Chains A and B, each alone.
Chain A
Amino acid sequence: MKLVSRHVDKHGAGHITLRPEDDEDMWHLYNLIQKGDSVGATTIRRVQKTSNTGSIDSQRVRLNLTVEVNKVEFSSYAAPTSGGDTSASGEASGPSANPATTSLHISGRVTVENPHVKLGAFHTLDIETDRNVRIEKADGWDSIALNRVEEAILPGRGAEVGAVVCGEGTAAFCLLSEHMTLVAGRISVSIPRKAAASGTSQHEKALTKFYGTLFDGFVRHIPFANVGLKAIVIASPGWVKDAVFDYMLQEAGRRGDKTLQKALKEKGVKVHTSSPHVHSLVEVLQSPQIVSQLKETKFAREGIALDKFHKMLSSDELRAWYGPDHVVLAADRGAIGTLLISDELFRASDPETRKKYVALVEAVQQKGGEVVIFSKLNQLTGIAAILTFPLDIEVVEAEEREVEEERKRAEDEEGT
């Protein structure tokens, strides 16, 4: 992402203009833009005009519109739009050969008057790559949002990895970048169990079909010819990964696809996982082969923090807390050493809750604590903390109750 202009004063008021360049930038924008913000971007709108004679003329006009955000939608299943399907041929491998697989839609009322659109009319902005987006925050830019901008505009993308997580008969094609995991596609082929009598087994026939389907899916979804792609991971339990890898090499040779052959030989990594589900990507990212490739990426940091939390939870339960209420209590006592928080909490919540979380993060940072913002923390209710000293949750809760009662009593006394 490119920073085009930035006008933010010390109180957070002002606007920032950004230019997204790829899928991950869309993800950043998705996390940045909130309900109530005003966002300006170029867009296409169908404009209707009634002439003097009463005939209606409809035209599609490219406009620059600013809307007050009502809804932000991010989807990773949009059809490839620009640049064509470069991966399909495997020939063209330009600098931005990655076809756009994500889309970001921002809808709301138009707030800036325009000769073609009335004020207050609804419009949905379809954010496009290489077009400027101007964002103005409703409540001003907070530290989380500014950090996100800083992160997003860092030049030099973290490593990208294409991964296929497969089992017998199922496969998911994933694209991992520093902040985002995309499931680009999945296939599932029903494979009969092995027959009691060997020989004309339907099992093997179905397997061959599965490998074929997987190969086609791979070629379609994984931009293997892209220079930016650091590794191609084939992950599975058992030996499916070996069989798949061998088949793909062989098939690439048979089809004379030199690019794919080269890519597989140079970047191909086989990783063992415990299950064929997409969530075993976590295991992929923790495997030594990948860790060495993705050193110092956000994901590695997240993994380390999460491991630390789990270890703490099993060794010293009183120093590992999770859940929004409990973590806030711990923060009040200045006990948080490391705060683990999912970016989903900032994104999905209403402005009030967001403010609460921002304040929490800022408070922890002020006291010298470490904050790890997760791009995907499905577990632990999205927020967890490793404490610097043990605190018994029940004691703390009892304290809180006491304080509450005290306060109530005081109120009652005042009242009487």
Chain B
Amino acid sequence: MGPQLGRTVHVVIVSMPVSHHHHRHPFHSILPVQMTLWPTLVVGHPWRITETGDQQLLLKLNLTLIVWIIVVICADYFVFGFVVRYTAAREREKAQKRLEAAASRTVSPMPKGKKGSNPQPKTPVRSGAATPSRGVDQRALDISALNLTEKEEKPQIIEEPPKISFAREKLLEEAKKALDAEGRNNKKNVSLVVIGHVDAGKSTLMGRLLYELGRLDEKTRIANERGSNKAGKGSFSWAWSLDGTTEERERGITMDIALQSMVTPHRQITILDAPGHKDFIPNMISGASQADCALLVVDATTGEFEAGFNRGGQTREHILLVRSLGVSQVIVAVNKLDQTNWDKSRYDEICDFLRPFLTQSGYHSSKTKFVPVSAMQGVNLATREGDDGKVLRSWYDGPSLVDCLDQLEPPTRDIYAPLRIPISNVFKGQGSGVAVSGRLCGGVVQVGDRLRVLPGDETAIVKTIDFEEENVSWAIAGSNVTIYLTAIDPVHLNIGSVLCYPNELVPLATIFTARVIVFDIQIPITTGTSVELFHHSRDVPATIANLIATIDRATGDIVKKKPRVLTKGISAEVQLSLRTTSLSGPSVVRPIPLEPFSVNKDMGRILLRRGGETIGAGIVLEIFG
């Protein structure tokens, strides 16, 4: 509001002379009133007439006249300023509405997605100046009594349109152009989640890779090395560049997603380094839901690979989780091969073991790649030159890890879909603003947009957008961005909330149906099973309210209606309802933003967990409020 007020003040000053001109004759019209007033005064004090001469009377008359003029000018100034400000605000509102209408016309119509949404878009700009309308009326009445009505024909003020860099259609055009140009003159953007069993060396591999690609400077590396040696954890020195918190460093375990970016010859890659420990799978899910591709790190040493892959290991669970979150490309980095003396048979054994499992889990064989690496020694990350890579060179002539990363396919970006940004992190930005980060699951966003935060009734304005550590004016679907917001209290922004345009709201759900695939579980799923529902970065308690039918995985036909239990490997349609978050007291179920898979793929994927174990993954079919 600040700058707008400033502008109106400016307008008022410019218009001042005009108003003066207008009010020449109103003063005359006031004079008779003044004259009629005067005699009463004279009557009230008869002694004055005798004492004061004509001159004095004239002086008095003049004095009162001057006072009156001042009063009128003031009133006029005030009221006129008010009216100008008021009309200016109206003008601005109209312009905004026109723009909005144009924008909504150009955006591809998505009637299905609007089922639960508010049919009437909120008025985009609220003018603070227009609020005390009653006061205006009162003053206007007073003025009308003074016969100042002709003031209506005020000078036309040309108000510049609200500060939006360009209209939405233009933006879409530009985004489309940029998208088409991607890969020809600039690098394609891909986001990559790093997964694998705990202690497979994910963070170390990433730390080393960042160093190899020149993203990690020598100074930091030396500092990390010194620090980790001091803590008696020299082997974690590479991981320290991603494991930033004290606790992670103390324990030598990644606990939360670390976001980094790096550049290969043809790709700009956003890295999401996921924790491998099973207690932090919620964080891993949050990261994986923001990724297009996955880098699976497995430990090649004897016993370790098996421990990671068997029941209770995270290799298997991560592979399934990531696949069910829509990631279809995977690179398998067989790590710590130096500890097996670069044993080719071990590498082949692991590849042969994983390949059928990956195919079975739904990864296309053309989209899975295997790379032998050693993160600690830095062999075969960017190159396999040097003494350390001698043995590997003797039997391996395939691509290095960077070569593989350089060929990752970017995701399809649906820029015409309604904007959806599930928030994965909220933190304090520079100054007074608040920053959120997340991945755009459709649509485009640009600086100056007003976004609605769901669930909730709040809106915010986009101040700046950061993408790959650069300040950009707009961002398209599929990019991991950090957005700085203004005009909102940070308490309204929660991890898991979704940002969208006020006229294209994402539906909120408490009860919905979903098609799920049941994972390898011990205790079957029954009606009323309590689960934790994972959707992007959100994690809420839910109940499987109803088992609707079991479904044939291949054909999609209904096998059996109303099954009693769901055992492992079954595909089924179920009804889920969110649980109240309290065991006792008032039962309030807070809805979560969700969309059917058919409307928005990224917004329609869910995961179900129970007792620290992922029991199923699914897609949202229909939302029942």
CB within 8 Å of B: which residues of A? 74-77, 174, 181-183, 186, 190, 192-198, 201-204, 237-239, 243, 272-275, 277-279, 283, 310-311, 313-314, 317, 322-323, 326, 376, 378-382, 393
For B253-290 the 0/1 string (1 means CB < 8 A from A) is 00111111000000000000000010110100000000
Give 8 new A-B contacts, CB below 8 A, not counting A75-B586, A239-B247, A275-B612.
Answer: A190-B491, A202-B428, A238-B279, A239-B251, A275-B609, A313-B524, A378-B543, A382-B528
Report if A274-B612 is in contact (Cβ < 8 Å); known contacts: A192-B427, A322-B526, A378-B528: yes
Partner of B565, one of A174, A181, A204, A317: A317
Minimum CB distance partner of A274 in chain B? B612
**Do the beta carbons of B244 and A275 come within 8 Å of each other?**
no
Partner of B584, one of A75, A283, A317: A75
Partner of B532, one of A186, A201, A239, A275: A275
Measured CA separation A238–B565 after assembly (Å): 31
29 of the cross-chain contacts (CB-CB < 8 Å) are A77-B586, A183-B582, A183-B583, A186-B581, A186-B582, A190-B495, A192-B425, A193-B256, A193-B427, A194-B256, A196-B244, A198-B244, A204-B246, A237-B279, A237-B612, A238-B279, A274-B611, A277-B541, A278-B582, A278-B583, A279-B530, A313-B523, A314-B524, A314-B567, A326-B564, A376-B583, A379-B528, A380-B526, A381-B527
B248 at the interface (CB under 8 A from A): yes
Interfacial chain A residues near B426, Cβ < 8 Å:
190, 192
By size class, the interface of chain B is 35 or more
User: Which 7 residue pairs of A and B lie closest in terms of their CB atoms, listed nearest first?
Assistant: A274-B612, A198-B244, A192-B427, A76-B584, A237-B279, A193-B425, A238-B279
Interfacial chain A residues near B541, Cβ < 8 Å:
277-279
Interfacial chain B residues near A317, Cβ < 8 Å:
524, 564-565
**Do the beta carbons of A204 and B279 come within 8 Å of each other?**
no
Interfacial chain B residues near A310, Cβ < 8 Å:
523
Interfacial chain B residues near A273, Cβ < 8 Å:
612
Measured CA separation A198–B260 after assembly (Å): 13
For B93-116 the 0/1 string (1 means CB < 8 A from A) is 000000000000000000000000
Measured CA separation A272–B279 after assembly (Å): 10
Report if A378-B530 is in contact (Cβ < 8 Å); known contacts: A183-B582, A243-B247, A313-B524: yes
Measured CA separation A283–B530 after assembly (Å): 13
Measured CA separation A323–B279 after assembly (Å): 33
B522 at the interface (CB under 8 A from A): yes
**Do the beta carbons of A204 and B245 come within 8 Å of each other?**
yes
Measured CA separation A76–B428 after assembly (Å): 36
B529 at the interface (CB under 8 A from A): yes
| Whole-angstrom distance between the Cβ of A16 and the nearest chain B Cβ | 25
B32 at the interface (CB under 8 A from A): no
B494 at the interface (CB under 8 A from A): yes
Interfacial chain B residues near A311, Cβ < 8 Å:
523
Report if A314-B523 is in contact (Cβ < 8 Å); known contacts: A194-B256, A203-B245: yes
| Whole-angstrom distance between the Cβ of A240 and the nearest chain B Cβ | 9
Measured CA separation A283–B522 after assembly (Å): 16
Interfacial chain B residues near A314, Cβ < 8 Å:
522-524, 567
Measured CA separation A182–B583 after assembly (Å): 7
| Whole-angstrom distance between the Cβ of A306 and the nearest chain B Cβ | 10
**Do the beta carbons of A278 and B581 come within 8 Å of each other?**
yes
**Do the beta carbons of A274 and B246 come within 8 Å of each other?**
no
Interfacial chain A residues near B244, Cβ < 8 Å:
194-198, 201
| Whole-angstrom distance between the Cβ of A27 and the nearest chain B Cβ | 9
Measured CA separation A198–B582 after assembly (Å): 36
Within 8 A of A (CB), among B487-521: 490-491, 494-495
Measured CA separation A192–B428 after assembly (Å): 8
**Do the beta carbons of B584 and A322 come within 8 Å of each other?**
no
**Do the beta carbons of A194 and B532 come within 8 Å of each other?**
no
B155 at the interface (CB under 8 A from A): no
Interfacial chain A residues near B424, Cβ < 8 Å:
193
**Do the beta carbons of B585 and A76 come within 8 Å of each other?**
yes
Minimum CB distance partner of B584 in chain A? A76
Measured CA separation A204–B543 after assembly (Å): 34
Measured CA separation A274–B541 after assembly (Å): 13
Interfacial chain A residues near B612, Cβ < 8 Å:
237, 273-275
**Do the beta carbons of A202 and B585 come within 8 Å of each other?**
no
Measured CA separation A323–B491 after assembly (Å): 43
| Whole-angstrom distance between the Cβ of A391 and the nearest chain B Cβ | 12
**Do the beta carbons of A183 and B277 come within 8 Å of each other?**
no
Report if A380-B528 is in contact (Cβ < 8 Å); known contacts: A194-B245, A203-B245, A314-B522: yes
Interfacial chain B residues near A77, Cβ < 8 Å:
584-586
| Whole-angstrom distance between the Cβ of B273 and the nearest chain A Cβ | 10
Within 8 A of A (CB), among B216-271: 244-248, 251, 255-260
Measured CA separation A243–B428 after assembly (Å): 24
| Whole-angstrom distance between the Cβ of B514 and the nearest chain A Cβ | 18
Minimum CB distance partner of A382 in chain B? B528
Measured CA separation A274–B523 after assembly (Å): 16
Interfacial chain A residues near B258, Cβ < 8 Å:
194, 196
**Do the beta carbons of B528 and A238 come within 8 Å of each other?**
no
**Do the beta carbons of B564 and A198 come within 8 Å of each other?**
no
For B521-547 the 0/1 string (1 means CB < 8 A from A) is 011101111101000000101010000
Interfacial chain B residues near A174, Cβ < 8 Å:
583
**Do the beta carbons of B528 and A381 come within 8 Å of each other?**
yes
Measured CA separation A381–B408 after assembly (Å): 48
Most buried by A among B424, B526, B532: B526
Minimum CB distance partner of A102 in chain B? B584
Most buried by B among A194, A239, A376: A194
Most buried by A among B426, B494, B581: B581
**Do the beta carbons of A201 and B245 come within 8 Å of each other?**
yes
Most buried by A among B248, B256, B586: B256
**Do the beta carbons of A322 and B527 come within 8 Å of each other?**
yes
Interfacial chain A residues near B248, Cβ < 8 Å:
194
Minimum CB distance partner of A376 in chain B? B583
Minimum CB distance partner of A326 in chain B? B564
Interfacial chain A residues near B611, Cβ < 8 Å:
274, 283
Report if A198-B245 is in contact (Cβ < 8 Å); known contacts: A238-B255, A278-B581, A279-B541: yes
Interfacial chain B residues near A376, Cβ < 8 Å:
583
Measured CA separation A305–B281 after assembly (Å): 30
**Do the beta carbons of B584 and A182 come within 8 Å of each other?**
yes
**Do the beta carbons of B494 and A190 come within 8 Å of each other?**
yes
Measured CA separation A197–B219 after assembly (Å): 14
Most buried by B among A279, A311, A326, A382: A279
Minimum CB distance partner of A192 in chain B? B427
Interfacial chain A residues near B260, Cβ < 8 Å:
196
Minimum CB distance partner of B425 in chain A? A193
**Do the beta carbons of A181 and B583 come within 8 Å of each other?**
yes
**Do the beta carbons of B585 and A75 come within 8 Å of each other?**
yes
Interfacial chain B residues near A380, Cβ < 8 Å:
526-528
Minimum CB distance partner of A76 in chain B? B584
Interfacial chain A residues near B564, Cβ < 8 Å:
317, 322-323, 326, 393
Measured CA separation A195–B495 after assembly (Å): 15
Interfacial chain A residues near B256, Cβ < 8 Å:
193-194
Minimum CB distance partner of B242 in chain A? A196
Measured CA separation A313–B257 after assembly (Å): 38
Minimum CB distance partner of A195 in chain B? B244
Within 8 A of A (CB), among B369-425: 424-425
| Whole-angstrom distance between the Cβ of A5 and the nearest chain B Cβ | 31
Interfacial chain A residues near B245, Cβ < 8 Å:
194, 198, 201, 203-204
Partner of A183, one of B529, B567, B585: B585
Measured CA separation A327–B527 after assembly (Å): 14
Measured CA separation A217–B424 after assembly (Å): 27
Measured CA separation A314–B490 after assembly (Å): 47
Within 8 A of A (CB), among B558-609: 564-565, 567, 579, 581-586, 609
